[in-house]
Amino acid sequence: MITTEPNPYWEIVMHRAAAVWEAHCQPGADLAAGMPVYLQHAQDFELIQATHIAQMCLTAVVHEDAPAATRAADGTVNFDRLVPPGSDPGTRNAAADYLIALCEFSLSQAVEAADQQMTALSPARTVIQTVLNGAPHGLPGRERAINAIWALRDDAGALSGVLALTGAALEAVRSRP
């Protein structure tokens, strides 16, 4: 049964997505600027649910504000145009920071995971493109995005990659000409 009552969880997600965007808009913000918000959400719920905030940022900010040059013919954002794959080494470092904070990795574990992060960014990029492709399609698009993210539930590296790459996308949109 579909209800029209507000869902308190999604209200939290929307407020926290706004806080992530605000953090990325601060002068000197880096790709992990949203980490305190994601960390709080992961503590309140689970790591996988922190990606709901990233999904909201991608659909409400990146999809809406991405430059025309990054869009495909159907109007969806082409993530590789917005955040070129060559920019992944910086994103890898942010993903390692997320692993340390969200998954309680030690610095040495995070450093060891650096090569794995590069591998984990590939599925993370695919999931982000799925989220962006679904953005203009309402509920069916959101369902595809949630399913794509859910598929990463057991891969902390890929989930951290989604958060770091979302930061890169927010940075690309914030700093657009």
Q: Return the SS3 of 126.
A: helix
pLDDT score recorded for residue 1: 53
Model pLDDT, residue 37: 95
Contacts of residue 156, defined as CB under 8 A and 6 or more positions apart, other chains included, come to 47, 99, 102, 103
Tens digit of each residue's pLDDT (9 = 90 or more) over 8-57: 998 999 999 999 999 999 998 888 889 899 999 999 998 889 999 999 99
| Closest C-alpha to 170, from 83, 41, 81 | 83
Look at residue 166 and tell me whether its pLDDT is greater than 80.
yes
> Mean pLDDT, to the nearest integer, of 53-63?
91
Write out pLDDT tens, residues 110-162.
Answer: 666 656 666 667 888 999 999 999 988 888 888 888 899 999 888 887 888 88
User: What is the separation, in whole angstroms, between the first and last Cα of the chain?
Assistant: 45
For residue 177 the two structure tokens come to 């000409």
Which pTM does this prediction carry? Answer: 0.85
For residue 7, which phi and psi values (nearest 5 degrees)?
Answer: -95, 115
Distances (CA, A) of 57 to 84, 163, 168: 19, 10, 11
**What is the pLDDT at residue 31?**
83
Q: What is the pLDDT of residues 72-94, one digit of tens each?
A: 998 899 999 998 887 655 666 67
- Residue pair 128/58 in contact (Cβ under 8 Å)? The answer is yes
pLDDT at position 118 is 65
Return the pLDDT at 127: 92
